[in-house]
Amino acid sequence: MATAWWAILVVSLSTAIGAIGQYYFKKGSKLLAFDLKKLLSNTYIIKGLAVYALGALIWISVLPYGELSTLYPFIAINYIWVAWVSKHFFKENMNLLKWLGIASIVLGVMLTGLSA
C-alpha cells in the first residue's frame, strides 16, 4: 500500500495539534493538585485532554490511507512543534544539543518521507 501524500500532511497537522495540547498541559501543571475536584476544574488540563483527543481522532482517521511504518515517524514532528512552543511561550532555553536533536529529527522524518 502506498501512502497518500495528503495523509502525511494530515499527520503533520495532528502533530501541531498535539503540541497545542502540550501547551495546555504545561499551563495546567502549574495549577495541578491531586484533588479530584481541583483536577476536574483545571481548565488547562481539560483543554489539553480535548485537544489531544482531537489529534488522536485525526491520527486514527488517516491510518487507513498509508503505511504505518511511513506515517508513524512523522509523529516525531511533534518534538519540533513543542520545542517552538517551549521557546516562544515559556521562554525556555534551546541549547546546541537540543537544536542538534531537532535537526536529527528533521533528517529522519525527511528520509522516511522520501521512502514513501
34-69 pLDDT, tens digit each: 787 887 889 999 999 999 999 999 999 999 999 998
Place of cell 489529534: 55
Per-residue cell: 109:
522524518
State the pLDDT at residue 5.
87
Out of 9-18, 31-40, 73-82, pick the least confident: 31-40
Closest to 21 measured CA to CA, from 82, 91, 106: 82
**DSSP conformational letter for 3:** P
Least confident of 18-27, 34-43, 70-79: 34-43
pTM, two decimal places: 0.84
pLDDT bucket at 109, cuts 50 / 70 / 90: confident
For 52, phi then psi, to 5°, come to: -60, -40
User: In the prediction, which pLDDT does 116 show?
Assistant: 63
Backbone phi, psi, residue 23, to 5°: -55, -50
Which helix (H) or strand (E) is 71 found in, with range?
helix 68-71
From residue 36, give the alpha-carbon distance in Å to each of 32, 57, 82, 111: 10, 26, 28, 45
> Cα dihedral sign for 19, 21, 24, 29?
negative
Number of domains in the chain: 1
Domain range enclosing 76:
5-114
> CA 59 to CA 64: how far, in whole Å?
10
